[in-house]
Amino acid sequence: MTELTVGDIVAERTVHLTRDSLVRYAGASGDFNPIHYRDDIAESVGLPGVLAHGMLTMGLAVQTVVPWLGDAGRILEYGVRFTRPVVVEPESGADVTVVAKVGAVDDETARIDLTVSHDGATVLVKAQVRVRLA
């Protein structure tokens, strides 16, 4: 792996989520909480709309760095805090943007900080991936 400097952007992408994405994630993960596919239920519990699963956002965020790493087995730790929900509109969906930056680096590992945003607001905080460099 080439020399890393704190602040380097190592990967970035924007993922467009639709209601189909949420149904697909529900099936794949087994999380069938209806707030992720039914407007009436989302509304009845006071949400601004149907939300993406937090774990979908977390999952797609880390995937941004896997092609750069070349091997998912280099990931030693991954953690996030969920701060803001991603509302997925029935027609227009939602864009989630991920920017992966080197946050810290030593001889053997690096901390990659993910900035994950939707509609100009950060949706995950302290989204950090600790990776093995060698």
Partner 1 sequence: MPVNPDLVGRDFPPTSPYLVGREKVREFARAVFADDPQHTDPAAAQALGYADVVAPPTFAIVVQEQTLQQLLAQPDSGIVLQNVLHAEQRFAYTRPIVAGDELTGRLAVTGIRALGGNAMVTSESVITDASGAHVVTATSVLVVGEGEK
Options 43, 77, 89, 95; binder of partner 1; rule CB under 8 A = 77
Instruction: Note whether 9 binds partner 1 by CB under 8 A.
Output: no
Name the residue nearer to partner 1 (CB basis): 27 or 90. 27
Name the residue nearer to partner 1 (CB basis): 7 or 70. 70
Instruction: Note whether 11 binds partner 1 by CB under 8 A.
Output: no
Closest CA to 95 of 68, 116, 67, 65: 116
Name the residue nearer to partner 1 (CB basis): 4 or 26. 26
What is the 3 state secondary structure string of 104-126? EECCCEEEEEEEEEECCEEEEEE
Strand order in the sheet with 109-118: 9-17, 94-105, 109-118, 121-132
| Contact flags string 25-44 toward partner 1, x per CB under 8 A | x-xxxxx-------------
Name the residue nearer to partner 1 (CB basis): 43 or 77. 77
CB-CB contact of 104 with 130 (8 Å):
no
Residue 24's φ and ψ, nearest 5 degrees, are -60, -45
Give the number of C-alpha atoms closer than 13 A to the C-alpha of residue 35, restricted to the C-beta side: 15
Residues in touch with partner 1 (CB under 8 A)? 15, 21, 24-25, 27-31, 45, 54-56, 58-60, 62-63, 66-67, 70-73, 75-82
